[in-house]
C-alpha cells in the first residue's frame, strides 16, 4: 500500500498491476496525530492483500492539503473525515467551500465522530441518516443532524457513510469495500480480520481469496475446508471428490471454471502458505516443516516455496528471524493455465 505524507502529491492514477486503483484521502483535524488513522491504513492494506480486482492507495492529510479545483483535483473514490468523540469539527468559511467542493468530486464521503458536524456546516445534515456518538446527541439535536433510526454504530445514506468513533470505522469501511468488490469479499475480510461475530472456522488468506474468486461456490468452499484440514497428509483428487460426494471429473471442472487451475495446484498453494507461516512464525526445523505440510522432502518444499515467494526456505527463515519487513517477500499471484504435466508432479 502507498501511504502519502501530507506534503507529497500523487499524480499516478493508472491501473496498478491490472487492478483498478482507488484513491482514498483520510483528512485529520488540526493537531490530530497521524497514528489516529492507523486502523484505516491496516484495513486497506489487508484489502490489497485479499482482493484481486482493486488496489487502494491511502493518503493522510489535513484540510489544507485537499485540492478542490476541478482541474487539479485528485480523483478520489473516498474521502474520510476522521474526527474524535470529544469535540465538534468546525469549519472556517474558506474551509467550508473546500470541503463542499471535495465532497462533490469524491465518489463517496465518510464522517467519523465529531466530523459529522461538517455536514451541519454544509447544510447537508438533514439529507442523511447518520451514526452519531452518544456524546454528541444533545448538540446534534440542536443542529440539522439526523441520527439513523436504529442508532447503530455505523450508517450508510446514499454516498455518505458515517461511524460514531474511530473504533467503529472498520465496519463502515467494510461497507465501502462491499460497494467496490461485493458483499462476499467484504464478509470474507471481516472474518479474516476478526470482525465477524459468527463462529466459523478460521480460514487462510489464500482460501478467502479463492472463495471470493469463486463467488461463494459451495462446493469450492467445502473442498477448501477439507484441504485445510488435511495439510500434513494431502488427499488425492479422488479422495477429495469422494469426501464431497461428487465425481472427480466434476471437481476438476469446477476448479478449472473458477481458477483455471486444478484442485492439486490449489491444494499446493494452501500448503505452501502454511509452510511459509511455519517458517516465519516458528523455529520448527525446515525439514520438519516440509513433513508438516505434506511435501515430504526439503527439495520438494524448496521448489514450491521458491516458485511462490522467490526465495528458498532457509532464506525466508533467516530473514524472518532478522526481522525483515514482510512486504519484501509477498506471495506472487496465482499463475493461470498450468499444464497437466505440472499438476502431475509430486505433491
pLDDT one-digit tens code per residue, 215-256: 878 899 899 989 998 999 999 999 999 999 999 999 999 999
Note the pLDDT of residue 284. 87
Give the pLDDT confidence of 171-199 residue by residue, as tens digits.
999 999 988 888 888 888 888 888 865 55
CATH 1.10.10.60 is the classification of domain 205-343: yes
Q: How far apart are CA 145 and CA 133, in angstroms?
A: 12
Q: Is the pLDDT of residue 342 over 50?
A: no
Q: What are phi and psi of 155, to 5 degrees?
A: -150, 150
Q: Is the pLDDT of residue 5 over 50?
A: no
**Band of the pLDDT at 321, cuts 50, 70, 90?**
confident
Note the pLDDT of residue 4. 45
Across the range 195-222, mean pLDDT stands at: 77
Q: What are phi and psi of 21, to 5 degrees?
A: -90, 125
**For the domain bounded by 3-187, which CATH number is listed?**
3.40.50.880
Percent of the chain residues past pLDDT 90, beyond the cut: 43
Across the range 160-175, mean pLDDT stands at: 93
Using CA atoms in the order 262, 266, 267, 273, what is the torsion angle rounded to 10 degrees? 160
Sign of the CA dihedral with 140 first, then 146, 150, and 152 last: negative
**Band of the pLDDT at 271, cuts 50, 70, 90?**
very high
Across the range 200-218, mean pLDDT stands at: 78
Q: What are phi and psi of 28, to 5 degrees?
A: -105, 150
Q: How far apart are CA 168 and CA 158, in angstroms?
A: 19
Q: Which CA distances in Å does 222 have to 63, 208, 299? A: 48, 12, 30
Contact 292, 284 (CB under 8 A): yes
CATH 3.40.50.880 occupies which residues in the chain?
Answer: 3-187
Min mean pLDDT across 112-126, 225-239, 320-334 is at: 320-334
Across the range 6-34, mean pLDDT stands at: 68
Residues near 45 by beta carbon (within 8 Å), at least 6 away in sequence: 1
CATH 1.10.10.60 occupies which residues in the chain?
Answer: 205-343
Contact 204, 228 (CB under 8 A): yes
Q: Which CA distances in Å does 230 have to 236, 294, 342? A: 11, 9, 21
Grid cell 468523540 in the structure block, residue: 85
Q: Is the pLDDT of residue 314 over 60?
A: yes
Closest CA to 60 of 18, 101, 5: 5
Note the pLDDT of residue 236. 94
Min mean pLDDT across 31-35, 283-287, 322-326 is at: 322-326
Min mean pLDDT across 26-40, 131-145, 157-171, 282-296 is at: 131-145
Give the pLDDT confidence of 98-110 residue by residue, as tens digits.
888 888 888 999 9
Note the pLDDT of residue 153. 92
Residues near 305 by beta carbon (within 8 Å), at least 6 away in sequence: 272, 275, 276, 279, 311, 312, 313, 316
**Band of the pLDDT at 18, cuts 50, 70, 90?**
low
Note the pLDDT of residue 336. 41
Contact 128, 146 (CB under 8 A): yes
Q: How far apart are CA 322 and CA 328, in angstroms?
A: 13
Amino acid at each position: 500500500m502507498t501511504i502519502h505524507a501530507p506534503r507529497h502529491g500523487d499524480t499516478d492514477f493508472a491501473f496498478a498491476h491490472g487492478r483498478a486503483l482507488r484513491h482514498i484521502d483520510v483528512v485529520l483535524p488540526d493537531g490530530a496525530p497521524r497514528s489516529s488513522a492507523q486502523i484505516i491504513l491496516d484495513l486497506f492494506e489487508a484489502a490489497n492483500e485479499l482482493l484481486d480486482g482493486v488496489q487502494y492507495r491511502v493518503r493522510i492529510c489535513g484540510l489544507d492539503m485537499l485540492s478542490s479545483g476541478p482541474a487539479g483535483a485528485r480523483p478520489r473514490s473516498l474521502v474520510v473525515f476522521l474526527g474524535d468523540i470529544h469535540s465538534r469539527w468546525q469549519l472556517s468559511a474558506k474551509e467550508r467551500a473546500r470541503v463542499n467542493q471535495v465532497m462533490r468530486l469524491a465518489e463517496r464521503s465518510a464522517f467519523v465522530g465529531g466530523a459529522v458536524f461538517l455536514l451541519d456546516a454544509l447544510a447537508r445534515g438533514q439529507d442523511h441518516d447518520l451514526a452519531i456518538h452518544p456524546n454528541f446527541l444533545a448538540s446534534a439535536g440542536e443542529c440539522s443532524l439526523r441520527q439513523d433510526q436504529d442508532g447503530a454504530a455505523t450508517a450508510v445514506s446514499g454516498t455518505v457513510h458515517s461511524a460514531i468513533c474511530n473504533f467503529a470505522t472498520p465496519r463502515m469501511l467494510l461497507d465501502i469495500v462491499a460497494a467496490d468488490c461485493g458483499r462476499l469479499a467484504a464478509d470474507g475480510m471481516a472474518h479474516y480480520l476478526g470482525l465477524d461475530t459468527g463462529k466459523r472456522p478460521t480460514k487462510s488468506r489464500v482460501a478467502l481469496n479463492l472463495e471470493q474468486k469463486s463467488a461463494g461456490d459451495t462446493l469450492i468452499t467445502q473442498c477448501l475446508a477439507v484441504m485445510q484440514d488435511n495439510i500434513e497428509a494431502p488427499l488425492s483428487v479422488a479422495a477429495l471428490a469422494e469426501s464431497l460426494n461428487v465425481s472427480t471429473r466434476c471437481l476438476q471442472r469446477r476448479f478449472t471454471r473458477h481458477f483455471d487451475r486444478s484442485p492439486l495446484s490449489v491444494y499446493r498453494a494452501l500448503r505452501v502458505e502454511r509452510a511459509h507461516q511455519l517458517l516465519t512464525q516458528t523455529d520448527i526445523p525446515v525439514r520438519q516443516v516440509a513433513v508438516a505440510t505434506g511435501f515430504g522432502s526439503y527439495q520438494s518444499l524448496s521448489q514450491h516455496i521458491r516458485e511462490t515467494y522467490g526465495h528458498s526456505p532457509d532464506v525466508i527463515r533467516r530473514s524472518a528471524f532478522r526481522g525483515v519487513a514482510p512486504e519484501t517477500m509477498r506471495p506472487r499471484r496465482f499463475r493461470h493455465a498450468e499444464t497437466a504435466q505440472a499438476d502431475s508432479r509430486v505433491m
